[in-house]
Amino acid sequence: ECNSFILRKAEPKDVSDILRLIKELAKFEKMEEQVILTEKELLEDGFGDHPFYHCVVAEVPEHKQSSDGYTVIGFAMYYFTYDPWIGKLLYLEDFYVMKEFRGYGIGSDILKVLSETAVKTRCSSMHFIVAEWNKSSIEFYKRRGASDLSDEEGWRLYAIDKDDLLKISAKKR
């Protein structure tokens, strides 16, 4: 059983655990090959002059470590975005707790800590995306009052990759 865990701000030393957990989550989302981020980038981008993200990690004591010997067993990555209608928002990019540590309220507490951060930093809202087939995650969020803006308002996510960005930016007027 596991009710001794702590949540804390990630530090530079955590980047290898963070990358490990990112890859585990990507595997769960059936997109493991898409993770091209490296520890070096995570370090520069999270702990350099201009952080592109913030991270909270969940840690258990040594005697409760995972079956493969890890004590950092969950994380959430977020950053601040902007809605021209309501101002600052907290955007939850990734949120994951290792399978063997689920059911102990760790995920729930992470979400509460992030909500508290959102309120303290004057954010009107916390936004995130979920894959529609991910029923258990959708249930988790809806139980806590989340609304689905894609269903309710018809928003669709679009992306333009580097190659096309280069084409767009190079065109002369």
| CB-based contact 124:146 (threshold 8 Å) | no
Token pair recorded at residue 140 = 């988790």
Considering beta carbons, is residue 65 or 93 the nearer one to other proteins? 93
Tell which residue, 82, 80, 11, has the closest CA to residue 42.
Answer: 11
The residues in 14-53 that bind other proteins, with binding defined as CB under 8 A, are: 22, 25-26, 31, 34-37, 41, 45, 52-53
Whole-number Å distance between alpha carbons of 159 and 167: 14
Cα first-last separation, the chain: 64
Query: 67 or 156, CB closer to other proteins?
Result: 156
List the beta bridge partners of residue 79: 91
Distance, in Å, from the CA atom of 142 to the CA atom of 111, rounded to the nearest integer, reads 13
Q: What type of residue is 39?
A: E
- Tell me, residue by residue from 107 to 146, as one string, x for binding to other proteins by CB under 8 A and - for no binding: --x-xxx-xx-xxx---xxxxxxxxxx----x--x--xxx
CB of 131 to other proteins, least distance (A): 5
In the block, tokens 């004590």 appear at 71
Number of residues that bind other proteins (CB under 8 A): 75
Taking the least distance from each CB to other proteins, the nearer of 13 and 119 is 119
In whole angstroms, the minimum distance from the beta carbon of 11 to other proteins comes to: 16
Is residue 141 part of the annotated active site? The answer reads yes
Q: Which two tokens stand for residue 103?
A: 């059911």
Q: 53, 70, 79, 141: which one is catalytic?
A: 141
The CB-of-23 to other proteins minimum distance in angstroms stands at 9
**Bridge partners (DSSP) listed for residue 58:** 7, 74
Q: How far is the CB of 72 from other proteins (least distance, A)?
A: 15
**What is the footprint of other proteins within residues 74-113 (CB under 8 A)?**
77, 79-88, 91, 93-94, 109, 111-113
Q: Which residues are catalytic?
A: 141
